[in-house]
Amino acid sequence: MAGLMVSFTIHAEQFPVNLGTLLTEEEITRANITIYPDGQNLPNGQGSVLEGRKLYNDQCAFCHGESGTEGPAHRLAGSIGLFSIWDPLRIKRIMEVNGLLVMSTGQQWPYATTIFDFVRRAMPHPTAKSLSNNQVYAITGYILYLNDLVGEQDLIDKNNLPQIEMPAFKRFVHAQ
């Protein structure tokens, strides 16, 4: 027992606990990447749906499918939740969730701003945070386009993104 204590003490001296330093204001601002439903915290910049198409095809389509419905990763567009015979993922999904409910990002998420937040912090897997803000605006626009929520010629920015009404908005209860 005494031997154990001694060896622990030696190790603690060799490897002191490093609690780090306080973040500067600038570092705190940079780390605060949460985007709120009303668009609060959206960065400056903009991206076009057309640019988003190219980025999406290069960096996202092989996991989410060319039209956002084919998978293998989570579907981003399409289904309103109920299966139909046109559903390209129906066999796989029937096995996974017994054919009851499968919704896409476009049909399930109540706020368009959340797409920006999620893509910027978590995609493209596995090189998350490799996209610039403008690229994230463009790709967000393209995902919205795949869901028929914006036009092909649209430009997305911090002013118009929070204005887009998602189909799922009315399926949620919202705090006043």
- Considering beta carbons, is residue 115 or 156 the nearer one to ligand HEC? 115
Q: Which is nearer to ligand HEC, 12 or 112 (CB)?
A: 112
Report the nearest approach of ligand HEC to the CB of residue 116 (Å). 10
Residue 52 CB partners (closer than 8 Å, separation 6+): 137, 138, 139, 140, 141, 142, 143, 145, 156
- Report in angstroms how near the CB of residue 150 gets to ligand HEC at its nearest: 15
Closest to ligand HEC by CB, 23 vs 77, is 77
**Smallest separation, CB 82 to ligand HEC (Å):** 17
Q: Which residue's CB is nearer to ligand HEC, number 99 or number 110? A: 110
Q: Between the CA atoms of 35, 36, 39 and 44, what dihedral angle is there, to the nearest 10 degrees?
A: -20
Q: Is residue 113 a contact partner of residue 143, using CB atoms and an 8 Å limit?
A: no
- Which spans of this chain sit near ligand HEC (rule: CB under 6 A)? 59-60, 63-64, 73-74, 76, 105, 108, 115, 118-119, 123-125, 139
CB of 128 to ligand HEC, least distance (A): 9
Cα–Cα distance for residue pair 12/14, rounded to 1 Å: 5
Contact 156, 51 (CB under 8 A): no
- Provide the phi-psi class of 42: left if phi over 0, else alpha when psi is between -120 and 50, else beta: beta
